Amino acid sequence: MQLLKDRILKDGVVKPGNVLKVDSFLNHQMDIAFINELGKEFKARFASQPITKILTIEASGIGIACIAAQYFHVPVVFAKKAQSINLDGEMYTSKIESFTHKKVYDVIISKKFLTPEDHVLIIDDFLANGCALIGLIDIVNKSGAVLEGAGIVIEKGFQSGGQRIRDMGVHLESLAIIDHMTDSEVCFR
Amino acid sequence: MQLLKDRILKDGVVKPGNVLKVDSFLNHQMDIAFINELGKEFKARFASQPITKILTIEASGIGIACIAAQYFHVPVVFAKKAQSINLDGEMYTSKIESFTHKKVYDVIISKKFLTPEDHVLIIDDFLANGCALIGLIDIVNKSGAVLEGAGIVIEKGFQSGGQRIRDMGVHLESLAIIDHMTDSEVCFR
């Protein structure tokens, strides 16, 4: 998606450790008009799928998922990363490892909100090693819902997640795929 | 706001410990069309303020803030709850205590995204003892930005937060205020 690539080139900042900071428009400060354009693009790429629910994971996926959901006219469910006293009853859980935070945590979704009748589109901001996405896919599979696909804003194509997800047969759409990056350059696939 | 009160009465569930679960429409599964109505109501209540930025805190405030921001045509900034390797540079921090998670944590915002030129509306899903909101207000004050007000979806009027915030002179708008609740009843102010 050219608008996204242009914005990454303009406002993205590469940091040591293969970190791409897009916190001025995507995941700390959020440019809502721009994110609406991402939402429209996700709708265009999954227009023929009978999506009933958008699934994401806290925290930085939530805003993107909510804006995108307006084009699908479906609810959002966001997976939580830690047990809370507000989450009781039956829950689906999966363990995932965070690249950003360098720790393992449980990802949790109430069973009430994913059923075998659901057709699920997963949306998230980044795909790197794929652990978060694989955890969400695991939960969708446990619920009996149909996984219609996954929409990612930025895929780090030089990490293994995208290949792993595609090898699973998942319909994966990444709006920008970065093949490699240096301090001075971001190269897209 | 009658639409919200009706929805709480229909789908809210009271749990022991003064917990009101609204996770079927507000903060786990999110009814985006409904949340758009909340966004319009926030715009109506702060129509005369020159808002330049909406501030919220991860995780459950983010979606509501993003939907509401569409009616204000301004960016959202969400405060983060833990130090991450993606958050470097100069940051504003404030310590807050979570009623839900029963722990103390740092709330962090990059200094780049709050400046003395900003006129800030804080948006969050719940106001109970007010600690999260007071932490955000503390950060707005540190930044030199103008605090134009705070918009809350559900205020627990039987806890002290609302009174503390109003006593600080903050323009606080809660779309529903619960005066008391029992297992069988939710009473609004």
- Please write the tens of the pLDDT for every residue from A90-145: 899 898 877 666 778 889 999 999 999 999 999 999 999 999 999 999 999 999 99
B78 vs A28, A85, A113: nearest CB: A28
Q: Are residues A180 and A152 in contact, defined by beta-carbon separation less than 8 angstroms? A: no
Interchain contact A65–B (C-beta under 8 A): yes
Residue A88 has pLDDT above 70, yes or no: no
A89 has a pLDDT exceeding 70: no
Residue of A nearest to B21 (CA): A86
Residues A136/A137/A141/A146 CA torsion (nearest 10 deg):
110
> B85 at the A interface (CB within 8 A)?
yes
Contact A23 B110 (CB under 8 A): yes
Chain pair A-B, CB pairs under 8 angstroms: 130
Q: Which A positions 167-186 lie with beta carbon below 8 A of chain B? A: none
Write the residue in B62, B73, B87 that is nearest to A63 by C-beta. Answer: B62
User: Could A112 and B17 be called an inter-chain contact, meaning their C-beta atoms sit closer than 8 Å?
Assistant: no
Nearest CA in chain A to B63: A63
Q: Give the pLDDT score at B85.
A: 47
Contacts of A45-50 with C-beta under 8 Å, sequence gap 24+, read A45/A151, A45/A173, A46/A72, A46/A121, A46/A148, A46/A149, A46/A151, A46/A171, A46/A173, A49/A119, A49/A121, A49/A148, A49/A149, A49/A171, A50/A119, A50/A148
Retrieve residue A22's tokens: 């897009």
Give A23's contacts in chain B (Cβ within 8 Å): 86-87, 110, 113
Residues of A in contact with B71 (CB under 8 A): none
Q: A31-59, pLDDT tens digit by residue?
A: 999 999 999 999 999 999 999 999 999 99
Task: State the pTM of this model.
Answer: 0.95
Nearest to A121 by CA among A103, A134, A137: A137
Does B123 score more than 80 pLDDT? yes
- Which tokens in the block code for residue B182? 């029992």
A2-24 pLDDT, tens per residue? 999 999 999 999 998 889 999 99
pLDDT at B126 over 90: yes
Q: Give residue-wise pLDDT tens across range B36-46.
A: 999 999 999 99
* pLDDT on residue A103: 77
Q: Which residues contact B128 (CB under 8 A, 6 or more apart)?
A: B99, B156, B159, B161
> Shortest Cα distance from B56 to chain A (angstroms)?
10
| Cα angle A101, A91, A50; round to 5 | 90
Strands B119-127 and B146-156: parallel
